[in-house]
């Protein structure tokens, strides 16, 4: 099984919202064959805790009109690694150092990467 069309729509919207807040190294991974609880991970990096939180806010704002509401949030207080579970997708926004340390792409290397075409950041 692969990610649903809805999951892919949310994944692209989340990735674009993160890019609009100048997230770096945005990656989307189709984990639907490995996990029954979600279809995709969207992983993004930021240079500071403040930027991590701005990315999280932007993604939540972008997905709300698409009918996706956060079911669970983790790590918001520290701003180093914030996870937001939207059901169909999970956003993981990292401070650059923490992303390098945890290296989720290595952990999920057997799952296909989702190609995402991103527009220039809207805030740029």
Tell me the pLDDT band of 23, cut-offs 50, 70 and 90: very high
Angle at 75 between CA 70 and CA 76, to 5 degrees: 70
Inter-residue contact 94 to 80 (CB < 8 Å): yes
pLDDT digits (tens, 9 = 90+) for 47-104: 999 999 999 999 999 999 999 999 999 998 888 999 999 999 999 999 999 999 999 9
Q: What is the pTM of this model?
A: 0.91
CB neighbour burial string for 79-93, b if at least 16 within 10 angstroms, e if fewer: bbbbbbbbbbbbbbb
End-to-end CA distance of the chain: 37
Q: Does the domain formed by 5-107 have CATH 3.40.50.2020?
A: no
Phi, psi for residue 28 in degrees, rounded to 5: -125, 135
Is the model's pLDDT at 112 over the cut of 60?
Answer: yes
pLDDT of residue 6: 96
Judge contact between 90 and 38, C-beta under 8 A.
yes
What number is the average pLDDT over the span 104-119?
A: 92
């Amino acid at each position: 099984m692969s990610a649903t069309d809805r999951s892919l729509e949310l994944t692209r919207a989340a990735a674009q919202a993160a890019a609009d807040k100048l997230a770096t190294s945005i990656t989307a991974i189709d984990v639907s064959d490995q996990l029954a609880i979600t279809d995709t991970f969207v992983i993004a990096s930021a240079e500071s805790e403040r930027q991590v939180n701005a990315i999280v806010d932007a993604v939540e704002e972008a997905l709300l009109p698409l009918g996706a509401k956060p079911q669970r949030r983790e790590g918001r207080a520290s701003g180093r690694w914030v996870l937001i579970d939207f059901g169909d997708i999970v956003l993981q926004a990292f401070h650059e150092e923490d992303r390098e340390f945890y290296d989720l792409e290595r952990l999920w290397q057997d799952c296909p990467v989702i190609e995402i075409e991103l527009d220039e950041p809207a805030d740029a």
